[in-house]
Amino acid sequence: MHALVDWAVAFARSHALLAYLLGTLLAAAEALPVVGAVVPGSATIIAFGALIAAGALRFWPFVAAVALGAVIGDGLSYELGRRYQRAVLERWPLSRHPELAARGEVLFARHGGKSILIARFTPGVRAIVPVLAGILEMPPARFFAANLGSAIVWAISHVLFGVLLGASLELLGAVAGRLAILAALLFLLAWAVIWIARRMARRLPALFAAAAEPLAAWAERNPGWLARRVGAALAADRAEALALAVMAGLLAGGLWMLLGALQDLIAGDPLVRLDGVVLHALTALRSHWGDRAMRLLAATAAPPVLAVLAFAAALALALAREWPLLLAWLLGLAGAALLGTLLPLLPHAAAPLAATAASPFFPPSASALFAATAYGLLAFFAFRAASPRLQPALASAAALLVVFSAAARLYLGLTLLSTEIIAIAFALTWIGLTAAIALLRRLPAGRAWPAALLALPVLIGAAAAEAAGLPLLPLPAPGVPPPPRVMSLAAWEEGGWDTLPGVRVGLLGNYTRPFSVQWAGSPARLAQILEARGWRPPPSWTPLTAAAWLAPAIDPGALPVLPRFADGVPEALVLIRPLAAGGPPARLVLRLWPSDAAIGAGARRLPLWLGALTEERFRRIAATLTLSRAAPAPGAAFAALAAALPAGRLLPADREAVPPARLSGGRVPVLLGWDAARADAGCPPPGCPAARSSP
């Protein structure tokens, strides 16, 4: 895309006269009948206007060229109508589109001469109205006055829009990709929530109808209180029995999800590692505009907003004398706040980015549980009072609010994925329990809705306060990582390297391949050293290079490298080295990811990077597709890489960070390397030891 824009700017600068002429021709073509519906005149003129912001064209000359073309095009259409009258409408191609003439006549009859201006901005009748003006014998002086005035307005508006668009491209260029990914993620979240809600609304009645008879038989066989209630509900009101079954399922599902997430958090299972993956991946997407949008959503869980909401809803429930629901409200919020406060004390609980910025009396995890429970209960209060036709939409809206608010908190680093899962699970559990009790006790359904309505002004007020800049959410600045832990070169070589992560965590929180390389210095310096030894960057992903995976001959150097992530962070450096011919097609791949450590003292530090050296082997499937299989590089490749580094050191394969059975590839040697050009980093006087290439 950047190459295309650069080419267009260069072309317009080199052929300015041709660009102005093209603007005139496009504006004239868009004013001709039928032709204007095929030629993308408006879009191209706006695109040329964007080049004005880049300095390739001048504003007023281009406006004049576009206005001239619009006048010429409408003038030609007017002369066609005046000369051929209605016969022009009966000839091809206008005879194929009689609906355009009908719409144009209605517009001309209603607005007269003003229809010339209106039609310029109305798709479909854009080119037919000047023809009708000629057919209906509109005076030439009146027509050309309207034609000239409307052409100037139309040209200025289109070119100015393009200029504004082009001026914003530079501003959005740095964040457009991240904003697009963020918007896509939010869209997928919304689609998933709405799809689940609609599917449940369609499937639940049928599922309940299939389970009604077994439930009735179970109720007859059991003499307990719950069995009597279920039997009475099935006999009296099928809709109430369906609701009770749904709430029981909600309670069971929420409790299962809550206990499972807590177990993972205590045992340190993949959910804990997934916290880091999601946190780092979303941190990489942060931008100024994304932060502004997400702060509006996350403001719904700000402690001041939740405090106002809790008090106002409790007061509304008390005034309505809804004592059971008031008790459920208070107990649910208290339980959510307590559980959220205790979560950081669990063995494997990690702190989010903004933990230090939040109030110690109401940590971010408590805010997440409090918000999910509060909005879930309010949605339940409104759901009971709403008509059956509104209930699915209401449930979807509440689910979107909770999910989007959770996504915003994750994006801003306020909470972790495990916390949000626990928050939603607790909210579902408490809502299911409250709803089941309300149904079993046959509580009236119409007196708690004022408490739910209070959420609307609170949400609007929270968004307005956040938009006005009030500090509802104290957050760290985007892109500011925590300070690295620093060790000396000697400490790193003597065993400090073993304190860094030993295996890469994939996108699903699972352990993947071991880190087999550690480099102290800049990736650019490592690339400079290795490119002199035959290494090179892989081809970028483009339609042409992607097609290389379908080429009949396998060229390992022409294939782009599939991306790999460590804790949600993409590689900072990728280098490849095709292996010598004589065996199956293969190449070595070296990847580097950032770590949280550095070598040095004071301001003289070398950042530490974690890497993996693998061997990719290629084979053809059905003579149409190339597949790759990665494996740990052989020992000779490690030895050659260590020899290529001016301070390389190859350690034996005695590292065991996790059980080898859980690693694909088992034990591998570890290669340490550092930038010898900065030999003073972390070294005591008078300097560092001599470069080594072996233990």
CA distance 118 to 107: 9
- The string over 520-548, giving b where at least 16 C-beta atoms fall within 10 Å of a residue's C-beta and e elsewhere, is bbbbebbbebbeeeebeebbeeeeeeeeb
Residue 577 in contact with residue 641, Cβ under 8 Å? no
Residue 395 in contact with residue 350, Cβ under 8 Å? no
Reduced to 3 states (helix: H, G, I; strand: E, B; else coil), residue 208 is helix
Question: Residue 62's pLDDT is what?
Answer: 85
Greatest CA separation for the chain: 99
Q: Which residue(s) pair with 578 in the sheet?
A: 587
Reduced to 3 states (helix: H, G, I; strand: E, B; else coil), residue 548 is helix
The neighbour count for residue 17, using CB atoms within 10 Å, is 9
Question: Residue 361's pLDDT is what?
Answer: 47
Residue 155 in contact with residue 66, Cβ under 8 Å? yes
CA dihedral 34, 38, 41, 44 (to 10 degrees): 180
CA distance 589 to 600: 28
Tokens of 259: 């206990």
Question: Residue 574's pLDDT is what?
Answer: 93
Packed helices 288-298 and 455-467: angle between N→C axes, nearest 10 degrees: 150
Residues in Cβ contact with 618 at an 8 Å cutoff, skipping those fewer than 6 apart? 554, 556, 559, 584, 585, 586, 626, 627, 628, 629
C-alpha radius of gyration, the chain, whole number = 34
Question: Residue 12's pLDDT is what?
Answer: 59
CA distance 587 to 273: 30
CA distance 284 to 643: 35
Residues in Cβ contact with 333 at an 8 Å cutoff, skipping those fewer than 6 apart? 310, 370, 373, 374
Residues in the chain, overall count: 695
Only one residue has tokens 């391949």, namely 513
CA distance 129 to 125: 6
Across the chain, which has 695 residues, the per-10-residue mean pLDDT values are: 45 68 81 60 72 70 87 82 69 57 64 68 66 75 81 82 60 46 68 72 61 72 73 61 70 87 81 78 72 82 86 87 88 91 79 51 78 89 78 81 87 86 91 81 70 78 72 59 79 84 73 85 90 90 75 84 81 90 85 88 79 87 70 86 83 52 50 65 41 33
Only one residue has tokens 């080419």, namely 7
Residue 606 in contact with residue 682, Cβ under 8 Å? yes
CA distance 218 to 224: 11
CA distance 536 to 518: 19
CA distance 318 to 325: 9
- Domain edges within the chain: 2-173, 205-467, 485-678
